[in-house]
């Protein structure tokens, strides 16, 4: 007969211990290579207790990644609404934070891709993405730097998509990039740290490159 666990209420310290253990194991072994028993062993609890707190590996993974994303977007909201920093400073801070986050949480792109495909509305609502981006102070700065306060939101969306693509794709494509260019984990990470300097420069060139002024004429007249 299996031994019944009798717990009147969940202990927050035990719950946090299991979540911290899961973070370590997911980072070391990846989502697919992690078993719930691995997490239980890392946390120093038995498997039945882990299952009492978290019903499955998937639930635990989603909870951890969701909390990580929420904390990131809370800090992002403060960053993009800071009226005391220039657009260039914001881009540098945003780049630094995003790259640091994805280096420290290598399983996060898996979570993001899954949520985007399976539940984009839920992801947006949980992270308050609409409120974070639309109406933010940084959009006002975008318009000012482009010299036109009447630039449509559709043009700004194009700019934001470009910026996010430069930051996110290398991490989503990491396995393929490592295979194509024969990169070690250390070489890939060094390349990502280099992007902390490069991405803000590329963003700035989109605003200040006099060689192609027609770009700004085009982006100002884009309609979705």
Fold of 10-55: Arc Repressor Mutant, subunit A (1.10.10)
Q: Examine the pLDDT at 36 and tell me if it is beyond 70.
A: yes
Q: Average the pLDDT over 46-69 and give the result.
A: 88
pLDDT at 112: 79
Asked whether the beta carbons of 71 and 81 are under 8 A apart, the reply is: no
pLDDT at 6: 47
Residue ranges per domain, the chain? Answer: 10-55, 66-220
The answer for 35, left when phi > 0, alpha when psi is -120 to 50, beta otherwise, is beta
Measured CA distances, 74 to 14, 67, 70 (Å): 26, 11, 6
Asked whether the beta carbons of 183 and 177 are under 8 A apart, the reply is: yes
Q: Examine the pLDDT at 210 and tell me if it is beyond 50.
A: no
Among 112, 110, 76, 106, CA closest to 93 = 76
How far apart, in whole angstroms, are the C-alpha atoms of residue 77 and residue 70? 11
pLDDT at 5: 46
Q: Average the pLDDT over 22-45 and give the result.
A: 90
Higher pLDDT, 185 or 149: 185
Q: Examine the pLDDT at 144 and tell me if it is beyond 90.
A: no
Q: What percent of the chain has pLDDT over 90?
A: 33
pLDDT at 10: 64
Instruction: Give 151's DSSP letter.
Output: -
Neighbours of 1 (CB within 10 A): 3
Among 154, 146, 140, 133, CA closest to 203 = 146
Least confident of 3-7, 80-84, 135-139, 140-144: 3-7
pLDDT at 85: 93
Query: What pTM was computed for the model?
Result: 0.72
């Amino acid at each position: 007969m299996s031994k019944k666990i009798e717990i009147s209420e969940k202990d927050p310290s035990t719950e946090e211990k299991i979540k911290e253990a899961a973070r370590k194991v997911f980072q070391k072994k990846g989502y697919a290579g992690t078993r719930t028993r691995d997490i239980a062993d890392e946390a120093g609890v038995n498997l039945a207790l882990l299952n009492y707190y978290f019903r499955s590996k998937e639930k635990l993974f989603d909870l951890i990644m969701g909390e990580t994303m929420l904390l990131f977007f809370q800090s992002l909201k403060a960053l993009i609404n800071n009226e005391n920093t220039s657009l260039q400073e914001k881009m540098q801070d945003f780049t630094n934070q995003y790259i640091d986050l994805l280096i420290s949480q290598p399983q996060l792109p898996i979570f993001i891709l899954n949520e985007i495909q399976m539940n984009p509305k839920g992801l947006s609502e949980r992270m308050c993405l609409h409120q974070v981006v639309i109406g933010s102070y940084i959009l006002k700065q975008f318009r000012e730097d482009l010299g036109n306060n009447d630039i449509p939101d559709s043009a700004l969306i194009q700019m934001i998509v470009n910026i996010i693509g430069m930051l996110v794709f290398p991490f989503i494509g990491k396995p393929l990039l490592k295979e194509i260019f024969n990169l070690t984990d250390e070489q890939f990470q060094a390349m990502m740290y280099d992007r902390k300097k490069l991405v803000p420069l590329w963003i700035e060139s989109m605003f200040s490159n006099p060689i192609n002024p027609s770009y700004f004429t085009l982006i100002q007249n884009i309609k979705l």
